[in-house]
Amino acid sequence: MDCIFCKIVSGEIPSSKVYEDEKVLAFKDINPMAPVHILIIPKEHISGASEINENNSAVVAHIFEVAAKLASDMKLESGFRIVTNCGPDAGQTVNHLHFHLLGGKKLNLQLG
Ligand code: 5GP
Ligand code: ZN
């Protein structure tokens, strides 16, 4: 499948990995919007938040566990944000479910 993030999972495209286990991968965003900007993705291809269902949602809970661990490891005790964009109106540019973990500065409150 022609998916950038599947290619990052397979190693075909290199990335700066910060966490990996059998279900998920976390790596630094290539175009960081904050001092800490990590993408956390399921290794399984799910095209976006609209495709989460009762059969695949367990990995989403796991991603949030990993996000909390990474936020702690990165000493984001003063706060962080987790964002997922779904579809063109939200600005999704890669059609493989991903959660942005942002922190390390006072983040702008721009939610819509
Ligand atoms: P979206 O706009 O879909 O919510 O987020 C996609 C994110 O993926 C963007 O922040 C973009 O910088 C990041 N990105 C796109 N291609 C690559 C890549 O090849 N490597 C990495 N590390 N990040 C990427
Ligand atoms: Zn994919």
In a domain, 108, yes or no: no
- pLDDT tier, 112 (very low <50, low <70, confident <90, very high otherwise): confident
Q: Which of 2, 15, 30, 33 to mutate to test the pocket of ligand 1 (most atoms within 8 A of CB)?
A: 30
In a domain, 112, yes or no: no
| Residue 25 pLDDT exceeds 90 | yes
15 within 8 A of 40, measured Cβ to Cβ: no
In the chain, the percentage of residues whose pLDDT exceeds 70 is: 100
Mean pLDDT of the chain: 96
State mean pLDDT over 50-55: 98
- pLDDT tier, 9 (very low <50, low <70, confident <90, very high otherwise): very high
The ligand 1 atom at the shortest distance from the C-alpha of residue 15 is: 22
55 within 8 A of 75, measured Cβ to Cβ: no
In the structure, which protein residues have their CB atom closer than 6 angstroms to any atom of ligand 1?
4, 13, 15, 27-31, 39, 85, 91-94
Q: How far apart are the CA of 77 and the centre of ligand 2, in A?
A: 31
Structure-token match 């009762």, residue found: 54
CATH number at residue 27: 3.30.428.10
pLDDT of residue 1: 72
As for how many domains the chain has, the answer is 1
Which residue range is the domain that position 13 belongs to?
4-101
Its pTM stands at: 0.97
* Residue 44 CB neighbours (<10 A): 13
Note the pLDDT tens digit of each residue in 73-83. 999 999 999 99
pLDDT of residue 110: 78
Strand partners, 27: 17, 39
In a domain, 28, yes or no: yes
